[in-house]
Amino acid sequence: MPERTELRLTPQRTRVLEVLKAAEDHPTAAEVYERVRLAAPGIGSATVYRALALLVETGHALELNLGDGAAARYDANTSRHDHAVCERCGRAADIDHPVPDGMVAEIARRSGFTITGYDLQFRGLCPECQTAGEGNLPGRR
């Protein structure tokens, strides 16, 4: 895999990376763009999208696909981890419990695919929503 490692650190890219690192949540590209604009109003969306792609490519960020047809989310925590997504409030908890290598190998063997990775999200109710009962969900579609 022709991994790209080098990246010219322009002011724009620095800001994108800063926003990502400061983010407590897992912002979408559009959200990153919004936040970067606060600090650098003149920046173009194309630049932010390009920067994000570059950061992912160079291993400085992860792109998460949390299903649901939602837009990809970005995460400056580049270590491998999965998520448990609350079906009620949308909160995502980090899960650090990889699928066993043996299972991946077995699936590769059966399917004929060369497996380079996987995305795994658990669905359920977070502890808060379990106790909160059937009341007030926030404005999730």
Annotated binding site for Fe cation: 82
- Output 38 or 46, the one with its CB closest to DNA: 46
Amino acid identity, position 80? R
Residues from 75 through 94 that contact a copy of itself (CB under 8 A): 84, 86-87, 93
Nearest to 18 by CA among 49, 54, 60: 60
- Do residues 92 and 83 make contact, with C-beta atoms less than 8 angstroms apart? yes
Look up residue 49 and give its two tokens.
């999208």
Instruction: Verify binding: residue 118, a copy of itself, rule CB under 8 A.
Output: yes
Instruction: Verify binding: residue 115, a copy of itself, rule CB under 8 A.
Output: yes
28 CB neighbour count, 10 Å cutoff: 17
Q: Which does 120 bind (CB under 5 to 8 A by kind): DNA, a copy of itself, none?
A: a copy of itself
Give the interface with DNA as residue ranges (CB under 7 A).
7-8, 10-13, 28-30, 40, 42-47, 49-51, 53, 69, 71-72, 141
